[in-house]
Amino acid sequence: MDATARRAFETTVLPEMDRVFGMALRLARSRPEAEDLVQEVMIRAYRFWASFKPGTSVRSWLFTIVRNTFITRYHSDNRDRAAVTSLAAHHESATDDAACGPAPAHTLNPEQALAQLGVREGIDAALQQLPHEYRMAVALADIEGLSYKEIAEVLGCPIGTVMSRIYRGRRLLHGLLYPAAVEQGLAPPVPNAAALRAARSAEPVSLAAYRKRGTA
């Protein structure tokens, strides 16, 4: 890499380091592993800088490298298998809300409740329990603000798959956040089966909306 390319790399990529580390931490789940992941990502980004197309999103480009590096280094040892198994019931019950509890439109819901307890802490703790496919899709959409098209490019899958992962990820987050809200007395418990059926049409709330509520 010549001096001009090196300067372009430094001025374009280095300002994104905090974002890259944040995504790596959400995927790797521990700071030491995230630091190792970021180091390898930056090595790859530097090595393949010539493949970056000026005028396109460098953030999406870097997140693609994060995803591919994570899969290569971590996914092969099936670290997320336990998470997938433990959350299988939540996934299957996404249509009946049996594990998630209701999300009525006019009462305090889990997102509103945990916004009062600590938005950042609630999001991070719940996100880290999701399978990595859902975790990254939700983070890219609701934290990083990428479009469906950009997320599809990062994840290497169709837009329909992106939309499905985001929807299911949000439903799983709802299921993970709801019990804590009930325990704190900030959301109503599930009263009966009829209420569960009535709640089936409730839409999951995005993390973007979640954060806004916390700062309202």
Q: Output the pLDDT for position 106.
A: 40
Q: What domains are defined for the chain?
A: 3-77 (1.10.1740.10), 81-215 (1.10.10.10)
Instruction: Please say if the pLDDT value at position 21 is more than 70.
Output: yes
Q: Output the pLDDT for position 84.
A: 47
pTM more than 0.85:
no
The pLDDT tens digits of the residues spanning 90-139 come to 444 444 444 344 433 444 445 554 455 455 676 677 888 888 889 999 99
Average pLDDT for 14-35: 90
Check residue 86 and give left, alpha or beta (phi > 0: left; psi -120 to 50: alpha): alpha
Percentage of the chain exceeding pLDDT 90: 35
